[in-house]
Amino acid sequence: MITNLNPVLKIGLYLGVALFLSSCNTARYLKPNQSLLKGSKIVYKNDKTLKDKTSLSNELLTFIDHKPNDKLLFLIPKE
């Protein structure tokens, strides 16, 4: 299939695929201790009875565990 293509077109195709695959690294500009996650938000269904909402929110945020992506391009499972 690819063997019948014009050599210039074949090189262009390879370069295009290489550029596409190299552009998928979203964390390349992050410093060592940074992450892309902006934060989590806690929504209370009934906050009328809460006295100290801030301390409760801070305590609950310690229990939140974010899972990394487990699939590549939404289809292929990572190792």
> What pLDDT sits at residue 78?
64
pLDDT in tens, 13-55: 999 988 888 776 666 677 888 777 777 777 878 777 778 888 8
Given a cut of 70, is residue 6 above it in pLDDT? yes
Note the pTM of the prediction, 2 decimals: 0.34
Rounded CA gap, 20 and 38, in Å?
26
> What pLDDT sits at residue 43?
81
Strand partners, 77: 71
What are the boundaries of each domain within the chain? Answer: 2-27+42-77
Residue 4 pLDDT grade (very low, low, confident, very high; cuts 50, 70, 90): confident
Strand partners, 60: none
CB crowding 24-62: b at 16 or more within 10 Å, else e: eeeeeeeeeeeeeeeeeeeeeeeeeeeeeeeeeeeeeee
